């Protein structure tokens, strides 16, 4: 069995999605994993997930006789690449950056919302070119690279609603003033 099949079998067997693998000339083997959709453990890969996959891959690759110097397992990041048809289906409705292999009307790069073509035979990205919304239909064979557009919210909980006190939770000062008559 080759190293790619061993990695894929191990990652999927542990309940993760194999996003991508990279192998460098200096013996680095890099594996990108993601959680499966609707995973009860959450939607983001944790350090514990990476450690679990790393430990298992070390054993499997040794048994299979796959040579490597260093193994890195990580999440795909906020700008997750879309590689397989299942990735496109999973992230339909989200913003992506798309790079085509060949230019269409003088341009290769598009950023917009991913969706399926109405015919069901391919994909569509809806983008605004400054003149209004436009749609570009494409097939996966035409794509050089596609990535999610990172969504970062630095505001966090700042705009979360304040907790509402129950009706019988009176401030301490009011309770003391009312009892001194």
Query: Taking the domains of the chain in order of start, what are their residue ranges?
Result: 3-74, 85-148
* CATH node for 85-148: 2.30.30.100
pLDDT at 59 over 70: yes
37 — pLDDT class (breaks 50, 70, 90):
confident
Domain 3-74 has CATH 3.30.300.70: yes
pLDDT (tens digit, 9 = 90+) per residue, 63-118? 999 889 999 999 999 999 999 999 999 999 999 999 999 999 899 999 999 998 87
Residue 2: predicted pLDDT: 87
Q: Is the predicted pLDDT of residue 50 greater than 70, yes or no?
A: yes
Poorest-pLDDT segment among 27-31, 53-57, 174-178: 174-178
**Would the pTM count as exceeding 0.95?**
no
Residue position matching structure tokens 């191990």: 10
pLDDT at residue number 118: 79
Instruction: Give pLDDT tens digits for 90-101.
Output: 999 999 999 999
State pLDDT tens for residues 130-181. Answer: 888 899 999 999 999 999 999 887 776 555 555 555 555 544 444 444 444 3
Work out the average pLDDT over 35-42: 87
Per-residue 3-state assignment (H helix, E strand, C coil) for the chain: CCHHHHHHHHHHHCCEEEEEEEECCCCEEEEEEEECCCCCCCCCCCHHHHHHHHHHHHHHHHHHCCCCCEEEEECCCCCCECCCHHHHHHCCCCEEEEEEEEEECCEEEEEEEEEECCCCCCEEEEEECCCCEEEEEECHHHEEEEEECCCCCCCHHHHCCCCCCCCCCCCHHHHHHHCCC
Distance CA 48, CA 158 (A): 28
Q: Is the pLDDT of residue 52 over 50?
A: yes
């Amino acid at each position: 069995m080759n190293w790619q099949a061993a990695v894929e079998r191990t990652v999927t067997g542990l309940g993760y999605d194999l996003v991508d693998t990279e192998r460098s000339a200096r013996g680095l083997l890099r594996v990108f994993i993601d959680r499966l959709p609707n995973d009860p453990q959450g939607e983001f890969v944790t350090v514990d997930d990476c450690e679990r996959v790393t430990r298992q891959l070390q054993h499997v690759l040794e048994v299979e006789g796959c040579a490597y110097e260093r193994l890195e397992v990580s999440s795909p990041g906020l700008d997750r690449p879309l590689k397989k048809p299942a990735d496109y289906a999973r992230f339909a409705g989200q913003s992506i950056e798309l790079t085509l292999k060949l230019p269409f009307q003088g341009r290769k790069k598009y950023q917009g919302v991913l969706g399926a073509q109405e015919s069901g035979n391919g994909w569509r990205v809806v983008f605004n070119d400054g003149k209004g919304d436009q749609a570009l239909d494409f097939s996966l064979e035409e794509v050089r690279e596609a990535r999610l557009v990172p969504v970062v919210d630095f505001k966090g909980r700042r705009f979360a609603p304040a907790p509402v006190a129950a009706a019988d939770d009176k401030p301490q000062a009011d309770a003391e003033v009312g009892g001194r008559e």
